[in-house]
């Protein structure tokens, strides 16, 4: 929104932006219509295609064994520095750090180890939080690493040149294992 | 006095004052849809109670008089079932709330009147570290803002108000400004059109108000090969942040050449980007984005006593003339703590 023309509560768009917006709305509309159809039996033709796609794309990427992280992104480095100095991190930074470490394939034990340096470290609380993020407690949803956009608005982003065009810290400094 | 004593008499004395205050409930401003809000409070022994709901102000006051909490909170969200566990509450919308706090403004005098109190022995430390008296307790901070702080924060508040009115087009009648009772102001926006914004949309709004993420491209400066090129956007540069940036450079829709010289003078694309960051910092408002972006948060109840300072969260109809030590002070007493 900050990069658009805003006045009196209206956001003015260029033509191509207007087209993109309508396209997005249309896809939402189609999606909700399909959702609301309440089809009891899916036709075989669609079902077989869907299964094929599901096989191909289902599940989250497991980063371990797929990518090799050559270097931590600057936001993670910065958070690690603060922790290693023995200073407190804000909640949002801890969230980022823990989800990132889990996403690159570290185990919960390893992640808890990182937080041991925090002045307010409490193993019970840290364990609960980390297990929660890993999707083993509470809502059983595995939390993703916050996007670069979100980190920017939380003042956790310390972008360097290599960060250009990334949308999530997880993409930083990785190389596919072949 | 450099040690606070948590004696039973002291606590009873304070509780009686709090009870008296809540008994005379005329201090509560109107709360929209009170029956859909979640309430919670912190007791004098720091125990926190949450997931409460009340049908009307009367029920709430009964609870407050009976339990005499130190701090009272309510949700900015409206729920179908406010007293259910968080996953079963059925979120129906939430007021848009902005928080500006004196401690985020980096005012030089702030440290002079901030005190760090030990949570175990009550010793008042000068620095935020382990308590030097008992070597065991952790400290929590209390600050008593001075006049200079309030002048600074009022300026910030006026800036925010301007953003809400002219950029976001929010009508005056939907904006309520509250003194938080300690060191900040809360802006409650109760516009029905804003109530359903999700966390991401709210984050766009806070980025806008803070001035986060303005790109040179939106004012027409683009990266091109090893240098830059100028191409002003079709939708113009005379609205919103584009206008703020443009007018501080003294350019308009027709000054492509002037803009080119400006970028060259500031050292190309990267230099110009730094220049823009400097301007956005100056015009942006220091709000706490996490407060606004959270759609399940609880806020201090307007009209309740702030347990940190003893002042009340008070509605400010006129920011300029508002004096917290007068207008948010419920009673003045002369007494000595035993």
From residue B294, how far is each of A9, A165, B200, B206 by CA, in Å? Answer: 21, 27, 10, 11
Choose the catalytic residue: B99, B191, B317, B327.
B99
CA distance B165 to B171: 7
Flag whether pLDDT at B283 surpasses 90. Answer: yes
Flag whether pLDDT at B64 surpasses 60. Answer: yes
pLDDT score recorded for residue B132: 78
Three-class secondary structure of residue B49 per DSSP: strand
Flag whether pLDDT at B86 surpasses 90. Answer: no
CA distance A77 to B49: 38
State the nearest Cα–Cα gap between B176 and chain A, in angstroms.
Answer: 18
Q: What is the ipTM of this complex?
A: 0.79
Smallest Cβ distance to B215: which of A3, A5, A150?
Answer: A3
| Closest CA relative to residue A77, chosen from A164, A175, A156 | A156
With pLDDT > 90 as the criterion, what percentage of chain B qualifies?
51
Three-class secondary structure of residue B27 per DSSP: helix
pLDDT score recorded for residue B90: 93
Q: Which helix (H) or strand (E) segment is B230 a member of?
A: strand B227-230
Flag whether pLDDT at B164 surpasses 90. Answer: yes
Flag whether pLDDT at B287 surpasses 80. Answer: yes
**Which of B239, B243, B270, B294 to substitute to test the interface with A, most A CBs within 10 Å?**
B239
Q: Is A5's CB within 8 Å of B203's CB?
A: no
Flag whether pLDDT at B279 surpasses 60. Answer: yes
pLDDT score recorded for residue B186: 95
CB contacts of B211 in chain A (<8 Å) are: 2
Chain B residue with the nearest C-alpha to that of A16? B234
pLDDT score recorded for residue B31: 83
Average pLDDT of span B305-328: 88
pLDDT score recorded for residue A94: 92
Lowest mean pLDDT among A135-149, B65-79, B115-129, B185-199: B115-129
pLDDT score recorded for residue A88: 84
pLDDT score recorded for residue A96: 94
Choose the catalytic residue: B167, B191, B288, B327.
B288
Three-class secondary structure of residue B185 per DSSP: strand
Smallest Cβ distance to A154: which of B169, B233, B290?
Answer: B290
Choose the catalytic residue: B101, B198, B317, B318.
B101
State the nearest Cα–Cα gap between A72 and chain B, in angstroms.
Answer: 23
pLDDT score recorded for residue B335: 56
| Closest CA relative to residue B310, chosen from B135, B177, B181 | B181
CB contacts of A139 in chain B (<8 Å) are: 87
pLDDT score recorded for residue A50: 87
Lowest mean pLDDT among A48-57, B71-80, B279-288: A48-57
Q: Is B218's CB within 8 Å of A154's CB?
A: no
| Closest CA relative to residue B281, chosen from B250, B256, B252, B248 | B248
Residue B99 bears catalytic tag = yes
Instruction: Work out the mean pLDDT of chain B and round it to a whole number.
Output: 88
Flag whether pLDDT at B160 surpasses 90. Answer: yes
Residue B101 bears catalytic tag = yes
Flag whether pLDDT at B332 surpasses 60. Answer: yes
CA distance B234 to B44: 59
Chain A residue with the nearest C-alpha to that of B165? A8
Give pLDDT < 50 ranges for chain A. Answer: none
pLDDT score recorded for residue B245: 92
Flag whether pLDDT at B330 surpasses 90. Answer: no
CA distance A9 to A41: 45
């Amino acid at each position: 929104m900050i990069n658009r023309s805003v006045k009196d509560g209206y956001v003015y768009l260029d033509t191509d932006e207007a087209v993109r917006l309508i396209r997005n709305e249309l896809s939402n509309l189609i999606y909700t219509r399909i959702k609301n159809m309440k089809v009891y039996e899916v036709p075989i033709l669609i079902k077989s295609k869907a299964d094929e796609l599901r096989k191909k794309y289902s599940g989250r990427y497991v980063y371990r064994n797929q990518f090799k992280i050559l270097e931590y992104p600057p936001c993670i480095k910065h958070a690690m520095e603060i922790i290693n100095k023995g200073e407190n991190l804000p909640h949002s930074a801890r969230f980022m750090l823990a989800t990132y470490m889990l996403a690159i394939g570290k185990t919960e034990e390893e992640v808890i180890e990182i937080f041991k340096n925090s002045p307010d470290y409490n193993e019970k609380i840290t364990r609960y939080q980390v297990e929660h993020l890993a999707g083993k407690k509470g809502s059983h949803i595995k939390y993703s690493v916050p996007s670069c956009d979100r980190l920017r608005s939380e003042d956790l982003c310390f972008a360097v040149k290599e960060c250009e065009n990334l949308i999530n810290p997880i993409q930083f400094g990785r190389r596919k294992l072949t | 006095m450099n040690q606070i004593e948590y004696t039973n008499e002291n606590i009873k004395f304070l509780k009686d004052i709090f009870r008296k205050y809540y008994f005379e409930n005329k201090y509560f401003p109107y709360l929209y849809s009170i029956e859909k809000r979640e309430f919670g409070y912190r007791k004098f022994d720091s125990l926190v109670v949450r997931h409460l709901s009340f049908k009307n102000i009367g029920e709430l006051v009964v609870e407050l008089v009976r339990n005499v909490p130190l701090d009272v909170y309510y949700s900015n969200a409206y729920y179908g079932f406010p007293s259910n566990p968080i996953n079963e509450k059925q979120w129906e919308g939430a007021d848009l709330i902005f928080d500006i706090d004196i401690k985020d403004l980096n005012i030089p005098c702030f440290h002079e009147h901030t005190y760090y109190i030990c949570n175990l022995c009550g010793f008042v430390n000068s620095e935020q570290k382990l308590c030097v008296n008992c070597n065991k307790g952790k400290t929590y901070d209390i600050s008593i803002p001075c006049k200079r702080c309030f002048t600074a924060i009022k300026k910030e508040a006026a800036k925010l108000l301007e953003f809400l009115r002219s950029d976001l087009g929010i009508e005056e009648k939907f904006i309520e400004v509250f003194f938080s009772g300690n060191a900040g102001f809360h802006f409650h926006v109760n516009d029905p059109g804003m109530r359903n914004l999700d966390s991401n949309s709210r984050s766009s709004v806070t980025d806008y108000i803070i001035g986060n993420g303005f790109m040179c491209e939106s004012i027409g400066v683009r990266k091109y090969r090893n240098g830059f090129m100028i191409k002003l956007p079709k939708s113009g540069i005379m609205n919103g942040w584009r206008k703020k940036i443009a007018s501080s450079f003294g350019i308009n829709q027709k000054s492509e050449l002037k803009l080119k010289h400006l970028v060259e003078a500031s050292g190309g694309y990267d230099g110009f980007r730094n220049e823009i960051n400097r301007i956005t910092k100056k015009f942006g408002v220091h709000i706490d984005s996490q407060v606004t972006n959270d759609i399940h948060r609880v806020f201090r109840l307007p009209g309740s006593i702030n347990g940190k300072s003893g002042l009340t969260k008070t509605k400010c109809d006129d920011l300029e003339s508002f004096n917290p030590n007068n207008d948010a002070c419920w009673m003045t007493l002369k007494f000595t703590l035993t």
